[in-house]
Structure 1
Amino acid sequence: MMEYSIAHTWDSIPVNHNPVTIHLQPGDGGLLMEVRGPFFNDPPAPAGPPGEPFDKLWDYEVAEAFFLNSTTEKYLEVEVCPHGQHLILLLHGRGNAWKRGLSLKYEASIEGNEWHGKALLPWRYFPPGVNKMNLYAIHGSDPRRTYEALYPVPREDLKPGQGPNFHLLEYFQNFNLKDIMGNDFLQPDSDLWSTCC
């Protein structure tokens, strides 16, 4: 199991609350992603039913995981929300989603001022040769909208007027599924990605 804490905003400022944590571990036919974090209840819950995909979920309170092949710029984006909605995007090239709204086995619960989510990410959603990743969390309504990143943009790289952008693939960091699944693990072929581009 690997555990990650999202302790900085997208522009490298330490967060002022308990960080969102994401655990990655082996699952049945995929990677099990478990999220724990403070529940801000801002914005309110999306209008869609829990357990179903919800387009533009990034406009709400979410945790996100991106898994990238840095050579091909093919990547998986996973978004989950405290209220039970989710969104899966398969992308080829920065921000270029060619498939969205796939189903996901995902459960979420809210207990007081904390939330917990658990999602099973099927191997068929992962592009071949994943070697980089980043994790994010978003909450709050404007002007308090807060964007947080495991691997943020360094302060020295910021440009005047720059805003948050979770598709800056150059800031993703090395990631090896074998660190979670074991040295003998071979990433299964994906029927989805075999039809891409």
Structure 2
Amino acid sequence: MLEYKITNTWDSIKVMHEPVIIRFKAGDHGLIMEVNSLFFDDPSAPSGEPGKPFDGLWDYEVVESFFLNSETKDYLEVELCPHGQHLVLLLSGGNCFEKGLDLIFKADINWNKWNGTALIPWRYFPPGVDKMNSYAIHGSGIGRTYEALYPIPREDIELGQGPNFHRLEYFKRFSLKWIMGENWEQPASDLWK
């Protein structure tokens, strides 16, 4: 199991609340992603059915993880919402070519916290994942907050720049073998040809 805590905003300012925790675990047919987070209840829930993909989920309260092959610039984006909706995108060089793939995902809200568990099928991962980043987004209007596991360093931020989660150069080393074991081989995928 690997555990990560999101302790900064996208622009390297410490968050002033309990950090979002993301855990990755071995699953039978994929990677298990667990989220433990404060529930901000802002904005309100998306109109989509829980357990189903919801396009534009990034405009709501979400926790996201990106899995990158840094040579090919192919990456998987997984977005999870406390209300049960999800969104899976496959991107190559920043261009999305597959969106709205199914995901086994359950979320529950208990007072001011939410927990979610997703099983991400191996076929969704590009071959040769070697970097990752994760994000948490909540709030509305000027109170919209964008948090990053690996934020952009303060000295790299340009005047007028806003959050951009597709800045692949700030992703950090990651290997699925750290979870699955050194002898594990990623199954071939029909989605990445």
**TM bracket (short chain):** over 0.9
Residue number in structure 2 paired with 1:64: 64
Deviation at 1:141, TM superposition (A): 0.2
Residue number in structure 2 paired with 1:158: 157
Residue number in structure 2 paired with 1:172: 171
In structure 2, stretches of 5+ residues that fail to align are: none
TM-score, L = length of structure 1 = 0.97
Give secondary structure in 2 for the equivalent of 1:130: coil
Give secondary structure in 1 for the equivalent of 2:63: strand
Mapped to 2, the partners of 1:47 and 1:168 lie a distance apart of 29
Mapped to 2, the partners of 1:125 and 1:87 lie a distance apart of 12
CA deviation profile, 1:79-117 (whole Å, cap 9, x unmatched): 0000000000000012x1000000000000000000000
Mapped to 1, the partners of 2:145 and 2:30 lie a distance apart of 30
TM-score, L = length of structure 2 = 0.99
Mapped to 2, the partners of 1:101 and 1:180 lie a distance apart of 26
Deviation at 1:72, TM superposition (A): 0.4
Q: What is the aligned length? A: 193
Q: Are residues 1:27 and 2:33 paired?
A: no
Q: How does 1:69-148 map to 2 (within 5 A)?
A: 69-94=69-94, 96-148=95-147
Mapped to 2, the partners of 1:169 and 1:55 lie a distance apart of 22
Question: Which letter does structure 1 place at the counterpart of 2:174?
Answer: F
Deviation at 1:11, TM superposition (A): 0.2
Mapped to 1, the partners of 2:157 and 2:177 lie a distance apart of 33
Give secondary structure in 2 for the equivalent of 1:193: coil
| C-alpha RMSD of matched pairs (Å) | 0.4
Give secondary structure in 2 for the equivalent of 1:143: helix
Mapped to 2, the partners of 1:145 and 1:28 lie a distance apart of 37
Residue number in structure 2 paired with 1:17: 17
Question: Which letter does structure 1 place at the counterpart of 2:93?
Answer: G
Mapped to 2, the partners of 1:176 and 1:51 lie a distance apart of 28
Deviation at 1:28, TM superposition (A): 1.4
Question: Which letter does structure 2 place at the counterpart of 1:12?
Answer: S
Deviation at 1:76, TM superposition (A): 0.1
Give secondary structure in 2 for the equivalent of 1:159: coil
In structure 1, stretches of 5+ residues that fail to align are: none
Mapped to 2, the partners of 1:126 and 1:113 lie a distance apart of 32
Q: Percent of counterpart pairs with the same letter?
A: 65
Residue number in structure 2 paired with 1:43: 43
